Amino acid sequence: MNIISKFTVGSEEGISDLITIIDSSVYSLHKELIPEEDIKKYIANNIDPRKMINDLNDLSNQLIITYADDRPVGYSILKSGSGHPDLPEGKKATEISFVILSESDSPEIRQSLWKKCRSAAGFTDILWINMMVHDPLLEFLKESGFTIIADATAGPFQLPSHLLKLEIR
């Protein structure tokens, strides 16, 4: 399997790949907890390609997409300058998302996406993420050095989550 993680711009193709991953991941992460009709309604009403293009063309945001055999299987978005009240003051914080499709999740794909994400975050002091407690990638992030600093809610349905941070420098 050929796996590559690369920076992607907010182009039509990049957004199409991102939406493919988002649609599938939102469904698989919530299907056991939220009625299917509510998930479908959320996807139809809240996944806006124009908004995504605008967000990604903001110079403080970076998108990384991981491909397995040319198929989009995961992504990470880094939002620099994005803080949170539970983080230490005076440090440069960057919020990340870290998503891999469950049917494509493997140690190689996790490592590919994480290495690219980590190398892109060299400019910041702290990486942080708000990840749902039932997300299978939570343990991977903890193994990668993230620590839980608070309980919270996350996602479109505000399910229980953990706020995690990783001190970069």
What's the pLDDT tens digit per position in 1-60? 899 999 998 788 889 999 999 999 999 999 999 999 999 999 999 998 888 888 888 778
Q: Are 144 and 169 in contact (CB under 8 A)?
A: no
What is the amino acid identity at position 101? Answer: L
CB neighbour list of residue 92: distance below 8 Å, 6 or more residues apart: 80, 81, 123, 124, 125, 126
Confidence of residue 81 (pLDDT cuts 50, 70, 90): confident
Rounded to an integer, what distance in angstroms lies between the CA atom of residue 169 and that of residue 165? 12
The per-residue pLDDT for 60 is 84
pLDDT at 111 over 90: yes
Q: Are 74 and 99 in contact (CB under 8 A)?
A: yes
Rounded to an integer, what distance in angstroms lies between the CA atom of residue 42 and that of residue 35? 11
The per-residue pLDDT for 11 is 80
Whole-prediction pTM: 0.93
